[in-house]
Amino acid sequence: MSAASRAVLSWIAAPGRPLDGRLRVPGDKSISHRALMLGALAEGTTRITGFLEGEDTRATAAVLQRLGVCIEAPAEGERIVHGVGLHGLRAADGPLDCGNAGTGMRLLAGLLAGQGFDSVLVGDASLSKRPMRRVIEPLSAMGARIDSEGGLPPLRIHAKNVLQGIDYKCEVASAQVKSAILLAGLYAQGPSTVREAHPTRDYTERMLAAFGADIEFAPGLATLRPGRRLAATSVDVPADFSSAAFFLVAASVIPGSHLRLERVGVNPRRTGLLEALRLMGADIAVRPAGEQGGEPLADIEVRAARLRGAVIPEALVPDMIDEFPALFTAAALAEGVTTVSGAAELRVKESDRIAVMTAGLRALGASIDETADGALIHGSGFTANTDPSMALADRAGALRGGRADSQGDHRIAMSLAIAAQCAAGEVRIDDVANVATSFPGFEALARGVGFGLRLA
């Protein structure tokens, strides 16, 4: 989709009906990225099912194909990756376009740091503003040579035949940084260890182990020893918790709602939102549903509840960093004040999510005090209205209709769509095309369970 078409695509959102039904959201984006990369570096054929058909993951697949990897797409949600082995990639004939995928660019930087050829990673306008020094610095300490534009893309990665293992303490809680180091560690001399003050998602560690890498890991610590070949395997991608999060919040705040989300990935380093919503009084039941590719699954049932403001523990921040836009919406509709702190990382995502989410909710009448690393969100008390017969737009504490700009941030667009379900009039949400990067089909799925949502 062109930059021009992204700029004009908008939604009209308004109260629909109480949400009801069973649904399965698309596959996990983070796992889809990693399955492609490790499948490419493995020997043999890796079959991926449940693959997220988003623009970000397709961009990663296209990059790997430019590097000489054959990737087939026999059906929607399926990929067959014909691995070339750790040393089988070949130089591309030009820059490698990561699109909007920060995960893709940071992990590919680690993967390419030890190759014997030069590579250039580029991205779209949004990705070109996102910080890459956090991966450049540890990779450079391993011996990689990476040039950037003041720590921003594009990244010019120079040929390097041998890297050195590293013992690295992450200053930023980032699974992407950890993953970049571990991927580079496959090409290093000696072990690579990553230590985290705040444990982050362990998708890469689990998947490296499944592909046969010599890796040991525990919360906050991972050590990879190079030397083993990776062996192809099958990867069944679970439903993405970050995508499920929008429906968890929506069903919690829209009176009369009752949803069941099926076979959602509930990696314990991913589900901080569940604890945060429970602190606010949410009615959520999590029922284990086995494992898929080493990742725990659950069916999650959620009913509307009377939410209260809460202080969100800073310890939860790394485990829910992508879910804060949706949490802001829940807090704006709860009773009392919700305090978010320790979340400065939100300012360097696809947008400055603190500033953009604050502006979007304020445009609809919410009261929010922005801080350097979070916000004080003064809830309207909308969720205190539990009479299912009352029209949504007539309830006390409803937000007002109006116009809000997502600034091209997919998670903010979907979070504002939730807010609009609790507004007294229509809401126009601008710049929503990037929703396709992580959640293709969101509009249809949302309308199917009760959202009032359409293209402008």
Residue owning tokens 């939100």 = 346
- C-alpha triplet 90, 157, 44: angle, nearest 5°: 35
Task: Determine which helix (DSSP H) or strand (DSSP E) holds 169, and give its type and residue range.
Answer: strand 167-170
d(CA 116, CA 357): 43
- DSSP assignment letter at 25: P
Q: Which two tokens stand for residue 216?
A: 């040991």
d(CA 102, CA 128): 9
Would the CA dihedral through 359, 361, 365, 369 be positive or negative? negative
Cβ-Cβ contacts under 8 Å for 220 (sequence gap 6 or more)? 195, 196, 197, 198, 199
d(CA 348, CA 357): 13
d(CA 333, CA 344): 23
d(CA 46, CA 42): 8
Spatial CA neighbour of 300 closest among 287, 316, 312:
287
452 SS3 class: strand
Annotated active-site residue in 97, 322, 430, 431: 322
Q: Which two tokens stand for residue 149?
A: 């534009």
Interstrand relation of 214-218 and 234-236 (parallel, antiparallel or unpaired): unpaired
Has 322 been annotated as catalytic? Answer: yes
Q: Which two tokens stand for residue 420?
A: 């609009």
* Residues designated catalytic: 322
